[in-house]
Structure 1
Amino acid sequence: MVEILVALTNTAGDQAAMAHAAALVEGRSGHLTLVQPVELPGAAMGALGSDPITRMQPAVMQALRDMESNMRSLRSAAARLRVPYDIEAEDGSKDIPLNAIAQRAQLFDFAAVACGGERRSQRRKQHATFSAIAFGSGRPVLAVPATMPLPAPLRHAVLAWNGAQESARAIHDFCALVPCDRASIVAVAPSGRTSEAGHLLAEFLVRKGRRAAFHEAQAQGRPISDVLTDYALEAGADLLVCGAYGHSRAREWMLGGTTRDLLDRSHIPVFFSR
């Protein structure tokens, strides 16, 4: 049985995240919990003068109307899922919504979230949700591109390997949680030690009952994210597995990094652990 939390972002990509999470639950006696964040404008109350409640009322009422509209759309979409599910709203009454959702995700096998929105405003919401869960839950996160078609059976995964603990954790989490027969372990321009460990990792996965092989890829000046996504595309893979945030979150966001690039550009779902 697998329990997946789908952290909704109020972007068009939520439909794809729900569909792919449902595909991983179907046939495994699993369950989805869909969590809708609700941004109530309570944080501004202290700046509204002597009668904040009266002044806040129109904004609060509008936020509640938006929430109900979103929940109606969500219930309609969820009714088409062929798996057991619950729907929850998180209004941040005890914490800001994203932090509360990340804390809720601690109780699940992993979380799913949309990524790769067409507009910057969409990507900003998706980045914030992914980052909150990746840093706040301690659980893996499945990032699903907004443009993904309906999910196909998961047959082949590309596992990014660089010898770091995040990479090792992602691969072990994947093996424990995601059914997939074939795995290609890929290291980009590896050192001798990393390459040796990659071959041993492939042997480990074979002993676990999976078809696995180790491969090396050369960057030739390209970003690692491009090398991995190109390899996955050429191999016909259904999933990419990576460690998340090899550097600090602030550094990744300021300078760009493999995690952020994959969130924005990957053409297939990416299973992250950190």
Structure 2
Amino acid sequence: MAIKTILVVLSGVPGDETRLDAALILGARFGAGIVALHVKPSPVILSGGMGGEVPASLIEAQQVEIDRNASSIESTARAQAGRIGSSIQWRCEEGDETSIAGVHARYVDLVVAAPDVARDLVFVSASPVMAVPDGTTPNGLRHAVVAWNGSREAARAVRDALPLMEAVGSAEVLVIDPPGNQEIGVDIARWLASHGIKVDVRERLSNGADIGSLLLQEAKTSGADLLIMGAYGHSRLREWVLGGATEDVLDKAKIPVLMSH
């Protein structure tokens, strides 16, 4: 599947510039359009105390500030794109960020978001989600590491990341604690090679060490600028529960992490 539309979620935080840079760079590389989404929070309506109503003027003042902030984010994003001769489609809604971004994610090929947004969004997105930490951009992707355990989630992530890996050209399939004598990385490596990707398979024993930290260590050692992995966990009554390795990677990664669930 080609990457033709990229959604970047701008949450109104300092790292927004990093995420938009990443989306713009990827957009230029794949000839993809960029959709920038900001979800405005709803005004906080606190009790007036003693059964009193909150003055309408306070709610209106909050709304004015929320709208002003959204306009500032839009202006900054358009200017940032304009500096490199690009443009964005701007979308702005009010409500719950994860729910709204999840709906918009159904109509794009890739989502770029902050790690703390990505950890929720990956459960409701129909598209792969790239978590981009502050201060990093996938500028000149050269090498990817695939965290592989043979699961459905890992296979989904690899398939979703295929256009990126074809652009990168080389990848390492990393298997931590392979079961028994099974070489579970061979088949996926063969499939990637059939798409013209130069692939190496590496197996590593954790010896009780933290899996997430090992993934990041191996990615750093191999010089990877992209980590691809399945998001392991489930959602329950809108409480997102990530597997330990996924959570640890999102907390500590210094490179973009592409996830699918």
TM-score normalized by the length of structure 1: 0.83
What amino acid maps onto 2:231 in structure 1?
Answer: A
SS of residue paired to 1:138: coil
Q: For 1:11, which of 10, 13, 19 is the aligned residue?
A: 13
Percent of aligned pairs with the same residue?
Answer: 31
Cα 1:182–1:56 shift into 2, 3 Å: same
Q: Does 1:44 align with 2:32?
A: no
- The answer to whether the Cα contact below 8 Å between 1:90 and 1:101 also exists between their aligned partners in 2 is no
What amino acid maps onto 1:234 in structure 2?
Answer: T
CA offsets 1:98-135 (integer angstroms, 9 cap, x no match): 311210111000100123xxxxxxxxxxx2x2244212
- The answer to whether the Cα contact below 8 Å between 2:228 and 2:259 also exists between their aligned partners in 1 is yes
Q: What residue in structure 1 maps to residue 134 of structure 2?
A: 146
Q: For 1:237, which of 224, 243, 253 is the aligned residue?
A: 224
2: distance between equivalents of 1:251 and 1:54?
36
2: distance between equivalents of 1:69 and 1:153?
30
Q: What residue in structure 2 maps to residue 187 of structure 1?
A: 175
What amino acid maps onto 2:89 in structure 1?
Answer: D
Give the alignment of 1:70-89 within 5 angstroms: 70-89=73-92
Q: What residue in structure 1 maps to residue 202 of structure 2?
A: 215
Q: What residue in structure 2 maps to residue 260 of structure 1?
A: 247
When the two chains are superposed, the root-mean-square deviation of aligned CA atoms in Å is 2.4
Give the alignment of 1:23-172 within 5 angstroms: 23-41=25-43, 44=45, 53-92=56-95, 96-115=96-115, 127=116, 129-148=117-136, 150-172=137-159
CA offsets 1:187-228 (integer angstroms, 9 cap, x no match): 1111147x4331111111111111112110121222111111
2: distance between equivalents of 1:70 and 1:272?
26
Q: Which stretches in structure 1 are left out of the alignment for 5+ residues?
A: 116-126
CA-CA distance at 1:6 after TM superposition: 0.2
CA-CA distance at 1:139 after TM superposition: 1.3
Cα 1:83–1:53 shift into 2, 3 Å: same
1: distance between equivalents of 2:225 and 2:178?
24
1: distance between equivalents of 2:241 and 2:53?
42
Q: Which contiguous aligned blocks of 4+ residues in structure 1 show a shift greater than 6 angstroms?
A: none
1: distance between equivalents of 2:235 and 2:66?
34
- The answer to whether the Cα contact below 8 Å between 1:102 and 1:132 also exists between their aligned partners in 2 is no
What amino acid maps onto 2:4 in structure 1?
Answer: V
What amino acid maps onto 1:224 in structure 2?
Answer: I
What amino acid maps onto 1:86 in structure 2?
Answer: Q
SS of residue paired to 1:136: coil
What amino acid maps onto 2:22 in structure 1?
Answer: H
Cα 1:248–1:67 shift into 2, 3 Å: closer
Q: How many matched pairs?
A: 253
User: Which has a greater percent of helix?
Assistant: 1
TM-score normalized by the length of structure 2: 0.87
SS of residue paired to 2:122: helix
Cα 1:67–1:251 shift into 2, 3 Å: closer
